[in-house]
Structure 1
Amino acid sequence: MEQTKAVALVVGVTGMAGLSLVEALKKPEAPGGPWKVYGVARRARPSWLPACGFLDDYISLDATDSKDTHNKLAPISREVTHVFWVALQALDNEEQKTTINSTMLVNVLNVLVTSPSPGASALRHVNLQTGTQHYMGPLHELSALSSHLVPHDPPFREDSPRLPYPNFYYALEDILLSYAPSITYSIHRASIIVDASSRSVYNALLTLAAYAEICRHTGLPFRFPGTQYTWDHFCDVTDARVLAEQHIWAATTDSAKNQAFNCTNGDFFTWKSMWKVLAKSLRVEFVPFEESGEFDFVGLMKDKGKVWDEIVEKHGLYKTKLDEISCSVALSTVLHFTFQHVSSMTKSREFGFFGFTDTFKSIPVWIDRLRKMKIIP
Structure 2
Amino acid sequence: MDLRKVALVVGARGVIGTKLVEQLDSLPDWEVVGLSRRGGVDSPGVRHVAVDLLDPDDTRAKLSALTEVTHVFYVAYQDRPTWAELVPPNLAMLVNVVDAIEPVARGLRHVSLMQGYKVYGAHLGPFKTPAREDDPPHLPPEFNVDQQRFLESRSAQADWDWSALRPSVVGGVALGNPMNLAVGIAVYASISKELGVPLRFPGKPGAYDSLLEMTDAGLLAKATVWAATSPAAANQAFNITNGDLFRWSELWPKLARWFDLEVAPPLQMSLATVMADKEPLWKELQAAHSLAGTAYAKVSSWPFADFVFGWDYDFFADGSKARRAGFHEYVDTEAMFYGIFETLRRERIIP
Q: TM-score w.r.t. structure 2 length?
A: 0.92
Task: Please state if 1:299 is matched with 2:299.
Answer: no
Q: How does 1:1-377 map to 2 (within 5 A)?
A: 4-28=3-27, 34-45=29-40, 52-53=43-44, 55-76=45-66, 78-115=67-104, 121-136=106-121, 139=123, 149-181=124-156, 182=158, 183-281=160-258, 283-290=259-266, 294-377=268-351
* AA in 2 matched with 1:311: L
Deviation at 1:317, TM superposition (A): 4.1
What runs of 5+ residues in structure 2 fail to find an aligned partner?
A: none
Q: What is the CA distance between 1:232 and its match in structure 2?
A: 2.1
Q: Deviations over 1:51-93 (max 9, x none)?
A: 545x4201122111222222222111x1111111111111112
Given that 1:7 and 1:37 are in contact with CA atoms closer than 8 Å, whether structure 2 keeps it comes out as yes
- 1:288-341 per-position Cα deviation (integer Å, ceiling 9, x unaligned): 4346xx434331122223322333444454444334432222222222223111
RMSD over aligned CA atoms reads 2.1
**Please, which moves more after superposition, 189-198 or 213-222?**
213-222
- CA contact under 8 A between 1:231 and 1:289: conserved in structure 2? no
Q: How many Å apart are 1:207 and its aligned residue? A: 0.9
How far apart are 1:249 and its partner, in Å? Answer: 0.7
In the alignment, the residues of structure 2 paired with residue 317 and residue 168 of structure 1 have an alpha-carbon distance, to the nearest angstrom, of 39
Which whole-Å deviations, capped at 9, do the CAs of 1:152-202 have from their partners, x for residues lacking one?
Answer: 311111111111131111121122123213121110111010011012221
Aligned partners of 1:265 and 1:356 also within 8 Å = yes
For 1:4 and 1:274, how far apart are their aligned partners in 2? Answer: 45
Decide whether the 8 Å contact of 1:42 with 1:62 is kept in 2. yes
Change (3 A) 1:136 1:320: farther
Q: In structure 1, what residue type is equivalent to 2:315?
A: H
The alpha carbon displacement at 1:129 in A equals 0.8
Distance 1:316 1:35 in 2: 38
Amino acid at match of 1:252: T
In structure 1, stretches of 5+ residues that fail to align are 140-148
Mean Cα deviation higher: 250-259 or 367-376: 367-376
CA distance in 1, matches of 2:97, 2:287: 38
Partner AA of 1:200 in structure 2: N
Deviation at 1:150? 4.6
Which region of structure 1 is more displaced relative to structure 2, 326-335 or 312-321?
312-321
Distance 1:126 1:352, change over 3 A: same
Q: Is the 8 A contact 1:81 1:124 kept in 2?
A: yes
- Is contact 2:176-2:297 (8 Å) kept? no
Could you tell me whether the CA contact under 8 Å between 2:120 and 2:131 is conserved in 1?
A: yes
Counterpart CA distance in 2 for 1:262 and 1:212 is 30
Q: Deviations over 1:4-57 (max 9, x none)?
A: 3100011111101222212221234xxxx51001111111427xxxx545x420
Distance change (3 Å), C-alpha of 1:190 and 1:233: same
Q: Is the Cα–Cα contact under 8 Å of residues 117 and 167 in structure 2 kept in the other structure?
A: yes
Which residue identity is paired with 2:108? L
- CA offset at residue 136 of structure 1? 2.0
Residue type of the alignment partner of 1:132: Y
- CA–CA distance in structure 2, aligned partners of residues 328 and 81 of structure 1: 38
Question: Aligned AA for 2:139?
Answer: P
Q: Quick check: 1:264–1:345 contact (8 Å CA) kept in 2?
A: yes
Letter in 1 for 2:273: G
Identity %: 34
| Pair 179,340 (structure 1): closer, same or farther in 2 beyond 3 Å | same
Secondary structure of 2:255's partner? helix
Counterpart code for 1:8: A
Counterpart residue number, 1:146: none
- CA, structure 1 residues 318+165, in 2 after alignment: closer, same or farther (shift >3 Å)? farther
**Aligned in 2, Cα 1:231/1:150: closer, same or farther, shift over 3 Å?**
closer
Shift of 1:151: 4.2
Deviations 1:253-273 (A, max 9, x none): 111001000011001111122
